[in-house]
Amino acid sequence: MAQSAPTRKLPLRRGLITLIAVAIAALAIVVSARLGTLTPGGAAAASHPPGPSTAESLEPAMSLAPTATPLVSPSPTPIPLVPAPLTGRLVTKAEAQRHPIAVMVDDSIDARPQAGFNAASVVWQAPAEGGVPRYMLIFQDQIPTSVGPIRSACQYYIEWASELKAMYVHHGGSPQAKETLAAKGNGTWVYNADGFRWEGRYVFRVKDRFPPHNVMTDGGHLRKLATKIGADDGPIKPMWSFAPDAPLEDRPTGGSIKVIYPYEPIEYRYDRLTNTYIRYVNGSKKPQVDIADGKVVAPKNVVILRMFFGPLTDAHPEKKRLEAADVGHGQAWIATNGVTVKGTWRKASPTAPTLLFGPDGEPITLTVGQTFVQVLALGYDYSIKNGSLPAASPSVNPGASASLAP
């Protein structure tokens, strides 16, 4: 009986120890669960949807790493543009001050097709020796890729080139023209650039044409030659004024201009959409094409100047050279924006500008772009057919069609 008491107390102690262990384990579970709700990503964090409504959801999005500042490229400084003096086109100041370069270009059938028309600011065409017309292409704000064939000098062409004190490029010339260039070709009137002197360096004979219709050059060589002989760039005083294209609704449909040289007729057909006069030579059904760029010749303005031409008295009457009464005044027809008006031209001296005046006696305004000047002897025929305006555009009245005789 004395040994049975301890044996009965042992199960009771074991039960108490087990109960305490269970209680401690349960307490540990509760504490662990409570701690989980206080840590980011725990149960409490998972119970809230992501968004800015709670502080817990904002914390993971915050970063203490430095943020790179995005690089912003500076805007390029715009290049100021100014009107080119011979076309009114907007160009850089440097382009607007390029020294004018006048090039005599052959118009005989053997010289065709010619190069350089579309890069010229102004193109003159007038009768020359033997009744064959000749061109003078004046380059200013654009540089041609090819020019020619280059032809000989005439006195009245020198006087038109002198209006701009241009570098005058030719290949030979009449005794009268050579005398003028010898006296005035040092920049007094023009800068003389005779191809006979500069051949092989600035002008060249090509092999795909027969002489004398094979003297060609390009704008790069012409610019170098201008520097060589002192035809420096600088400000140029405009002779004519220019305005933008007329609105499409104010332009007529159709219309044409035809000038008849004894050697060939020249026709211009007005194109309303481009506001240009598409050029046709010698009755061709296809427009004239400049082989320098492969594009159709189509100026913005066409001017007809009528003046007296007579035989030049020199030692070579067999050449049938001409002289022109280009100083003074006379009748002009000015076509721009599809409308042709009758006006006058005036030139006060050999070096004075050829000015254009409308029917009201005020200076005419041309359209921005290229101008072709067709100079006709008083006995040459020409005709002008005006187009028709849309019925809703009464603001311009080109008048009725007219066939004009000298």
Closest CA to 369 of 123, 175, 151, 177: 123
The rounded Cα 319 to chain-centroid distance in angstroms is 40
Closest CA to 226 of 140, 116, 115: 140
Per-residue pLDDT of the chain (406 residues; tens, 9 = 90+): 444 444 444 444 555 455 555 455 555 554 444 544 434 444 333 344 444 443 344 444 444 455 566 666 777 888 899 999 999 999 999 999 999 999 999 999 999 999 999 999 999 999 998 889 999 999 999 999 999 999 999 999 999 999 999 999 999 999 999 999 999 999 999 999 999 999 999 999 999 999 999 999 999 999 999 999 999 999 999 999 999 999 999 999 999 999 999 999 999 999 999 999 999 999 999 999 999 999 999 999 999 999 999 988 777 777 788 999 999 999 999 999 999 999 999 999 999 999 999 999 999 999 999 999 999 999 999 999 999 987 764 444 444 344 343 4
Pick one of 3.40.50.360, 3.50.90.10, 3.40.50.300, 3.40.50.1980 as the CATH number of 81-229.
3.50.90.10
| C-alpha–C-alpha distance, residues 351 and 158, integer Å | 9
Evaluated on CA atoms 5, 7, 11, 14, the torsion sign reads: positive
| C-alpha–C-alpha distance, residues 122 and 101, integer Å | 11
- In the numeric block, which tokens belong to residue 94? 């440097």
| C-alpha–C-alpha distance, residues 386 and 108, integer Å | 30
CB contact at 8 A, 243 and 367? yes
| C-alpha–C-alpha distance, residues 281 and 267, integer Å | 7
| C-alpha–C-alpha distance, residues 356 and 334, integer Å | 8
Closest CA to 358 of 376, 370, 372, 344: 344
| C-alpha–C-alpha distance, residues 121 and 144, integer Å | 11
What CATH class has 241-388? alpha beta
Kindly report, as residue ranges, where domains of CATH 3.50.90.10 are found in the chain. 81-229, 241-388
- Tokens 């028309």, residue? 117
Closest CA to 121 of 168, 88, 169: 88
CB contact at 8 A, 262 and 131? yes
The rounded Cα 16 to chain-centroid distance in angstroms is 106
Closest CA to 267 of 343, 372, 366, 339: 372
DSSP annotation of 383? E
Identify the three-state secondary structure at position 122. Answer: strand
DSSP labels for 165-224? T-EEEES-B-HHHHHHHHHHTBTTS-EEEEHHHHBTTTBEE-SSS-TTS-EEB-HHHHHH
- In the numeric block, which tokens belong to residue 278? 């598409």
CB-neighbour burial class of residue 7 (10 A; exposed 0-12, middle 13-18, buried 19+):
exposed
The predicted pLDDT at position 15 comes to 52
Beta bridge partners of 122: 138, 371
| C-alpha–C-alpha distance, residues 48 and 58, integer Å | 12
